[in-house]
Structure 1
Amino acid sequence: MSGSSPVVCFRALVQHIASGGKGKAKIRWPSGAPALHLLNSRFRKGRNLSQPLIEEHIARTATGDREAFGRLYSLTSAKLFGVALRVLNDRAEAEEVLQEVFVKVWRNADRYRANGLSPMTWLITIARNAAIDRLRRRREGQAELDAAEVVPDPAPGPEAHAVAGSERERLAGCFGELERDKAEAVRRAYLGGETYAELAAAMDVPLNTMRTWLRRSLLKLRECLDR
């Protein structure tokens, strides 16, 4: 939605909230300088945002008034985008955080008066915390990548080779406890990849007999290795 107007972006956000707010809203703020595009005329001229007006819009948003929510968005989105951008220094991530912020505002507007903060302080706190959470997740992800880069070489060392050699000796000893034809059948089935039918034909025994041989031989091998 590159180049979309703030109105189109807001409609997409409202549709996302109306659908339950699950997942990420597929919204892209205007290209170029999003913060400038989102400023209303009052803010562009450098005037202070009207705290009583913002407080009124928050109160009406708490009742489910989408028109008031839209006005709240129009008044504050540029400021909150700037807060997120200063923390993250990444426009795309700041855009996503702004989406998260307004979803939280929609869901939690009824809690505003209980926190004792001014309306803009409350909104900025939500934006800053969301941006910090995003930054923390980004750093944790990078730390995991850095850790992956220093994982030791998985190639077996001398101790692993010694253990493997000991296991091979035990397995060879257990094979020695099987009857010769049954040991051969197990090797050819599980090491050579021959099918039961191929083995039965090659060793001139019924197919069911071959299945029984292999099942019982495997049980004996397991018992031997468990000793």
Structure 2
Amino acid sequence: MDDDLAELLLRSAGGDQWAFLRFYDATRVAVYRLELMRAGEAESAEQAAAARFVEAWRRAGAHLASGLSPLAWLLSLPVAPARRAAPVRMLHGDGAACA
């Protein structure tokens, strides 16, 4: 499977959108799970996953030189995690938190 994904990345580096779509289909679940663990909620995970695939499209030609498997390379791309709003908490006068 790694060889197939590597070939898809190589073709993607040459501008083959169909190859990148196949790469996306083969790796999207792993990317989404990583981003969901990082973000903690679905909307931010979806945004971060999309950003990761945009970066992969831009850098597809760099995969081979990395020495990593295609999935490891994809998951190691430097992509800022999507930001999510922190829950607002107020304190009562006694120091107890309320939502």
Residue number in structure 2 paired with 1:61: 12
Q: Which consecutive residues of structure 2, in runs of 5 or more, have no partner in the other structure?
A: 89-99
Residue number in structure 1 paired with 2:81: 134
Percent identity between the two aligned chains:
31
CA RMSD across the alignment: 1.9
TM normalised by structure 1 equals: 0.36
Query: Runs of at least 4 residues of structure 1 off by over 4 A?
Result: none
Paired amino acid for 1:134: P
1:111 pairs with one of 62, 76, 83: 62
Q: Give the match's secondary structure for 2:81.
A: helix
Residue number in structure 1 paired with 2:37: 86
Superposition deviation, residue 117 in structure 1: 1.2
Indicate the structure with greater strand content: 2
Aligned-partner Cα distance in 2 for 1:55–1:124: 14
The answer to whether the aligner puts 1:75 opposite 2:26 as a matched pair is yes
- Give the structure with higher Rg (CA): 1
TM normalised by structure 2 equals: 0.78
Q: Which consecutive residues of structure 1, in runs of 5 or more, have no partner in the other structure?
A: 1-49, 146-227
Superposition deviation, residue 134 in structure 1: 2.2
Indicate the structure with greater helix content: 1
The count of aligned residue pairs is 87
Aligned-partner Cα distance in 2 for 1:134–1:113: 25
